[in-house]
C-alpha cells in the first residue's frame, strides 16, 4: 500500500475562518517538544488541526499550524496567550498569517521547495500532472509528431544530467544500485513507482516497469501519444551510468490496456550507434 505525500495543503472555502500561525521556538529534549505542545494546546480545546508543518535546525523548530476556527474565532487570542505562557522563554517568535484572501490559507512560509539527499539540498520546481498535460498538448498541437521528438530529447538531456549526478556519488555502488537510487528520487518527485525488472549485462538488456506513470496520466487523452519524455529520460540515464550508447522502446503501456508501462533499454557499447536518436 502506498501512502500519499502532500507537497502542500491549500484550503479555500468562503465563509470559513481559517487560522494560520507561524511559531519559531527552541527545542529542549526530552522535556519540551514545541510541535507536540502545539498539538496538545489545540486538542485540549477540541480544535482539529488541518495541517502542521515542522522544520528543525540547530535546536530550533519552525512550526506552521493551520486550524479551522469557524465558530470559535474568539479563542484565537486565548490560543496565542496559551502558547506564549507554555513556551515561555523558549518562544522566539509567533506570527498570525493573513493571505489577503478571505477563506483561504496555506503555508506562506513554505518556500523554497527542497529535495534533501543526505544533507545535500536541491531546490525543486514542481508541476502538477494537469500542467504537464497542457504542456504535452501544446507541443503536439504545434509540432505534431515532432512534439514527441522534442519531448524525447528534453527527457534525454534530463536523464543524462541525472546520470552525471549519480556517478559522482561516493562509495562502491554498482550500476544497479545507482539505478535504484535514481528510481527512488523519481518516485519522490511524483513520476511513478519504478521497478528494475531485469538487468542482463550479457544480453545488454535492461527492463524497467513503471506504475502510476505521471506521463501516462497526463497524456491519456492525447490520441496516439507515446511516453516519449520518460523513454528519453531512461535512455539518457542508463547511457551515462553504463557509459554506453543505447536505445529504448516501450513494450507495454497502460493506455493500451496493460497494467503498467514497461521500457526495454538495450546497450550498444559501439561508438556512434546513435544513442542520441529517439
Mean pLDDT, contiguous 10-residue spans, the chain (278 residues)? 90 96 95 95 94 93 96 95 97 96 96 92 94 94 93 97 94 93 97 95 90 95 90 97 94 93 87 47
Spatial CA neighbour of 240 closest among 183, 175, 192: 175
Model pLDDT, residue 278? 61
- CATH code of the domain made up of 122-267: 3.30.1380.20
CA distance 256 to 189: 25
**CA 265/CA 278 separation, integer angstroms:** 12
The whole-number pLDDT of residue 274 equals 42
Contact 46, 40 (CB under 8 A): no
The ranges of the chain annotated as CATH 3.30.70.260 are 11-111
Q: How far apart are the first and last CA of the chain?
A: 35
For domain 11-111, give the CATH number. Answer: 3.30.70.260
Q: Considering only CA atoms, which of 222, 56, 49 is closest in space to residue 144?
A: 222
Task: Look at residue 226 in the predicted model and tell me its pLDDT.
Answer: 86
Query: Could you give the residue range(s) of every CATH 3.30.1380.20 domain in the chain?
Result: 122-267
pTM score > 0.85 for this model? yes
Short-list 140, 187, 135, 185, CA closest to 165 = 185
Residues 6+ apart with CB under 8 A from 141: 147
DSSP 8: -
Looking at residue 119, what is its pLDDT?
87
Amino acid at each position: 500500500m502506498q501512502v500519499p505525500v502532500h507537497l502542500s495543503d491549500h484550503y479555500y472555502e468562503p465563509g470559513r475562518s481559517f487560522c494560520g500561525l507561524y511559531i519559531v521556538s527552541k527545542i529542549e529534549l526530552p522535556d519540551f517538544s514545541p510541535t507536540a505542545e502545539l498539538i496538545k494546546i489545540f486538542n485540549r480545546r477540541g480544535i482539529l488541526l488541518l495541517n502542521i508543518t515542522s522544520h528543525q535546525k540547530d535546536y530550533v523548530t519552525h512550526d506552521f499550524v493551520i486550524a479551522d476556527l469557524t465558530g470559535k474565532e474568539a479563542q484565537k487570542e486565548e490560543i496565542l496567550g496559551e502558547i506564549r505562557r507554555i513556551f515561555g522563554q523558549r518562544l522566539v517568535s509567533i506570527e498570525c498569517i493573513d493571505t489577503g484572501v478571505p477563506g483561504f490559507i496555506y503555508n506562506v512560509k513554505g518556500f523554497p521547495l527542497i529535495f534533501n539527499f543526505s544533507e545535500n539540498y536541491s531546490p525543486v520546481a514542481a508541476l502538477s500532472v494537469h500542467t504537464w498535460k497542457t504542456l504535452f498538448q501544446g507541443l503536439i498541437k504545434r509540432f505534431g509528431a515532432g512534439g514527441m521528438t522534442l519531448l524525447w530529447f528534453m527527457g534525454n538531456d534530463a536523464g543524462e544530467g541525472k546520470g552525471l549526478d549519480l556517478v559522482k556519488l561516493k562509495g562502491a555502488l554498482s550500476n544497479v544500485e545507482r539505478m535504484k537510487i535514481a528510481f527512488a528520487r523519481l518516485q519522490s518527485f511524483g513520476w511513478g513507482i519504478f521497478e528494475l525488472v531485469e538487468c542482463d549485462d550479457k544480453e545488454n538488456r535492461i527492463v524497467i516497469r513503471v506504475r502510476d506513470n505521471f506521463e501516462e496520466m497526463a497524456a491519456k487523452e492525447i490520441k496516439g501519444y507515446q511516453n516519449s519524455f520518460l523513454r528519453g529520460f531512461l535512455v539518457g540515464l542508463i547511457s551515462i551510468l553504463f557509459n554506453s550508447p543505447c536505445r529504448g522502446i516501450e513494450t507495454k503501456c497502460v493506455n493500451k490496456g496493460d497494467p503498467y508501462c514497461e521500457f526495454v533499454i538495450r546497450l550498444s557499447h559501439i561508438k556512434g550507434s546513435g544513442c542520441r536518436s529517439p
